[in-house]
């Protein structure tokens, strides 16, 4: 027994404190098991977690080519790559601290080589894409540097670069970019938002609206997923008129983009603390008796609630007033599930409690739980599509319903949910007796046109019978 106690004491002494600031980590197994493909890259591995898989060997060759082009921009020879290695060496400790599961067996040279190769690829990809959007003038700056990937590959790359396991510390990208930046070039932040606005969140109207938002608090950026969440989804750029047909051609080929919102499209709306919070803490004085799951869309419609497409572009600007629920439009594409899942993992499993702003810590998770409550079956998806709230690019309503239901399985409904007030207002609306009566009447007698006709015929028959009875009684009394 004494030996066991001594063993525990020794293990406690050797145990280090839980590391903080780890914002690039492996997805927990219980989440990965639900949909492994949502967290695994399709075509490219960035960082240490997927780099040894044979599936991405072809892209390793592309990375080398992109590094060569990266050097050629400044007319540098291959030997001059050493100066970039030396620059990254000063960031090695900071970069390693971003990873929660980087084994010590990865040597310093291996780690720096990985950072350099992946970092140069991303910076060069962003620059190439930005150059493709510029009009061709015949100058040397527009000379052909190889071929840009096809529209499909660009979409896959954009999706892979937003996986929580596939991230590179932002400080590495910033260092490589700053060492090769020229006066008059776009900022790194501008290029990132431009690339993702056309690849993953296709809305060409946003192509010129990033600068003010993107350059604020750039030191807080941890990686690309963090940047997209904090600087775009929660602090969104202004919408501008017009578009860029050149970008449409690059990303979508002959497919017409049309006038629609992106997969996740926002405007100047800012995330604010929900009314149920006070300095990030839940207000215990607030009435929580109605804080329960909201009914699905079809049942809410039966209770008299109307659904309308929200006028604001922000994904989170959901409103409920006078029996009308306004929800901004969401386009469901092939990569939508993967992006939402990775954003939720990042929000909920980052080891640094201060990593995500307290007032907006779980906004995306809360949004998905809200949609999970609203969507229970394909009938709910069909209803929301008819109301122009959902745009289903997958084709099958049941697939979309299953997507929302499976994502919401591991998201809890807590009292500090960002949509707390809407849950309460909707449940109070449905709890009123007259709304219950109307809902029961619709569900029992008006669930189909034939049911309505039968009910209407029965009412007419009753009225005719009543009229005949009254007429007979009056006639009888009159004769007497």
pLDDT digits (tens, 9 = 90+) for 379-398: 999 999 999 999 998 888 99
> Which of 219, 237, 252 delimits the end of a domain?
252
Other CB atoms within a 10 A radius of the CB of residue 236 amount to 23
Task: For the chain, give the percent of residues with pLDDT over 70.
Answer: 68
Residue 376 burial (C-beta neighbours within 10 Å; 0-12, 13-18, 19+):
middle
Regarding whether 410 and 467 lie in a shared domain, the answer is no
Regarding whether 129 and 77 lie in a shared domain, the answer is yes
Is 87 inside a domain boundary?
yes
Strands (E), 328-398: 330-332, 390-392
How far does Cα 26 stand from its chain's mean position? 18
Strands (E), 279-377: 281-282, 306-309, 319-321, 324-327, 330-332
- Answer for the pair 416, 381: CB distance below 8 angstroms, yes or no: no
pLDDT for the residue 278 = 43
pLDDT for the residue 133 = 73
pLDDT for the residue 429 = 85
pLDDT for the residue 251 = 38
Regarding whether 290 and 225 lie in a shared domain, the answer is no
pLDDT for the residue 264 = 37
pLDDT for the residue 233 = 78
Record the tokens describing residue 189, joined without a space. Answer: 């932040």
Record the tokens describing residue 166, joined without a space. Answer: 């596939």
Regarding whether 344 and 314 lie in a shared domain, the answer is yes
State the alpha helices, DSSP H only, in 326-411: 336-349, 363-374, 378-386, 397-408
Name residues of the chain where pLDDT drops below 70: 1-4, 6, 9-21, 103-104, 134-149, 202-219, 235-292, 313, 351-360, 413-415, 433-452, 455-456, 476-480
Is 265 inside a domain boundary?
no
Regarding whether 307 and 242 lie in a shared domain, the answer is no
Regarding whether 308 and 402 lie in a shared domain, the answer is yes
Phi and psi of 239, rounded to 5°? Answer: -85, 135
Is 272 inside a domain boundary?
no
pLDDT for the residue 402 = 93
Domain, as residue range, for 100:
21-137+148-252
Phi and psi of 47, rounded to 5°? Answer: 85, -170
Is 300 inside a domain boundary?
yes
**Tally of structural domains, the chain:** 3
pLDDT for the residue 37 = 92
Residues with Cβ within 8 Å of residue 227, at least 6 apart in sequence: 170, 189, 192, 221
Regarding whether 310 and 189 lie in a shared domain, the answer is no
pLDDT for the residue 460 = 80
Other CB atoms within a 10 A radius of the CB of residue 404 amount to 23
pLDDT for the residue 220 = 72
Regarding whether 177 and 90 lie in a shared domain, the answer is yes
Regarding whether 181 and 45 lie in a shared domain, the answer is yes
Is 16 inside a domain boundary?
no
pLDDT for the residue 100 = 87
Is 281 inside a domain boundary?
yes
pLDDT for the residue 371 = 94
Regarding whether 216 and 324 lie in a shared domain, the answer is no
Regarding whether 472 and 371 lie in a shared domain, the answer is no
State the alpha helices, DSSP H only, in 166-232: 170-180, 188-199, 211-214, 224-228
Is 447 inside a domain boundary?
no
How far does Cα 144 stand from its chain's mean position? 34
Regarding whether 284 and 171 lie in a shared domain, the answer is no
Is 448 inside a domain boundary?
no
């Amino acid at each position: 027994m004494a030996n066991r106690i001594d063993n525990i004491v020794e293990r406690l002494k050797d145990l280090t404190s839980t590391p903080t600031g780890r914002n690039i980590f492996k997805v927990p197994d219980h989440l990965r098991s639900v949909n492994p493909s949502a967290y695994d890259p399709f075509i490219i591995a960035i960082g240490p977690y997927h780099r040894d898989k044979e599936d991405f060997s072809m892209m390793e060759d592309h990375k080398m080519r992109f590094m060569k082009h990266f050097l050629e921009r400044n007319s540098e020879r291959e030997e001059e790559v050493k100066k970039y290695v030396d620059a990254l060496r000063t960031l090695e400790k900071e970069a390693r601290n971003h990873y929660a599961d980087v084994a010590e067996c990865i040597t310093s040279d291996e780690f720096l080589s990985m950072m350099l190769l992946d970092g140069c690829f991303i910076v060069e990809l962003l620059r190439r894409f930005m150059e493709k959007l510029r009009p061709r003038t015949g100058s040397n700056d527009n000379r052909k540097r190889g071929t840009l990937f096809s529209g499909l590959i660009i979409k896959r790359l954009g999706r892979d670069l937003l996986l929580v396991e596939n991230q590179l510390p932002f400080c590495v990208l910033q260092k490589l970019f700053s060492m090769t930046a020229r006066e008059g070039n776009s900022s790194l932040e501008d290029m990132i938002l431009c690339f993702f606005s056309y690849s993953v969140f296709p809305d060409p109207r946003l192509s010129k609206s990033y600068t003010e938002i993107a350059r604020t608090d750039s030191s807080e950026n941890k990686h690309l997923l963090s940047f997209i969440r904090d600087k775009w989804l929660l602090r969104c750029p202004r919408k501008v008129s017009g578009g860029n047909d050149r970008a449409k051609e690059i990303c979508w080929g002959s497919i017409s983009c049309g006038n629609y919102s992106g997969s996740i499209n926002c405007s100047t709306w800012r995330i604010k603390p929900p009314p149920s919070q006070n300095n990030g803490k839940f207000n215990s004085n607030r009435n929580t008796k109605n804080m329960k799951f909201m009914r699905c869309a079809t049942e809410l419609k039966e209770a008299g609630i109307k659904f309308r497409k929200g006028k604001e572009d922000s994904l989170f600007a959901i409103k409920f007033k006078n029996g009308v629920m306004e929800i901004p439009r969401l386009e469901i594409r092939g990569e939508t599930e993967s992006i939402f899942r990775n954003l939720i993992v990042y929000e909920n499993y980052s080891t640094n409690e201060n990593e995500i702003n307290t007032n907006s810590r779980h906004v995306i998770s809360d949004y998905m739980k809200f949609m999970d409550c609203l969507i229970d079956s394909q009938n709910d998806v069909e209803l929301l599509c008819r109301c122009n709230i959902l745009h289903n690019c997958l084709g099958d309503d049941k697939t979309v319903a299953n997507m929302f239901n499976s994502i919401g399985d591991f998201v809890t409904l807590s009292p500090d949910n960002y949509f707390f007030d809407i849950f309460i207002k909707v449940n109070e609306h449905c709890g009123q007796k007259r709304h219950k009566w109307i809902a029961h009447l619709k569900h029992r007698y008006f669930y189909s046109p034939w049911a309505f006709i039968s009910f209407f015929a029965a009412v007419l028959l009753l009225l005719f019978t009543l009229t005949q009875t009254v007429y007979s009684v009056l006639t009888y009394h009159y004769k007497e």
